[in-house]
């Protein structure tokens, strides 16, 4: 079996010289329009993906800020309740220390 080299040719001066590939690349007007439209579509899709992701993050941030404000409100209410209970305990302790009797 004989395998020949497809990308070579034989010349007397250079026995095995590789062929050069033609480097001229021409684009017609229709191909150029298609490539331009494709690039614009890719850029538009990228922009839409970025804006959608940004709005999703903004929505998550708003939800977390809402949770934060609710928790802060709960903390304030619990602090008020704690102060009220402490004052009631102090009143009871002071009443017992000053030998006051309950009224029936």
End-to-end CA distance of the chain: 122
Among the residue ranges 10-14, 29-33, 66-70, the one predicted with the least confidence is 10-14
Mean pLDDT of the chain: 82
pLDDT at 100: 62
pLDDT at 21: 67
Cα separations (Å) of 19 from 3, 6, 48? 18, 10, 47
Between 21 and 49, the more confident residue is: 49
Asked if pLDDT for residue 18 goes beyond 90, the answer is no
Asked if pLDDT for residue 59 goes beyond 60, the answer is yes
pLDDT at 93: 77
């Amino acid at each position: 079996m004989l395998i020949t080299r497809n990308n070579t040719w034989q010349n007397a001066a250079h026995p095995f010289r590789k062929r050069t590939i033609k480097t001229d690349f021409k684009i017609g007007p229709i191909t150029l329009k298609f490539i331009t439209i494709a690039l614009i579509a890719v850029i538009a899709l990228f922009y839409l993906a970025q804006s959608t992701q940004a709005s999703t993050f903004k929505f998550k941030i708003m939800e977390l800020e809402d949770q934060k404000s609710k928790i802060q409100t709960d903390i304030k209410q619990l602090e008020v309740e704690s102060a009220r209970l402490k004052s009631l305990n102090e009143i009871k302790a002071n009443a017992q220390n000053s030998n006051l009797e309950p009224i029936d």
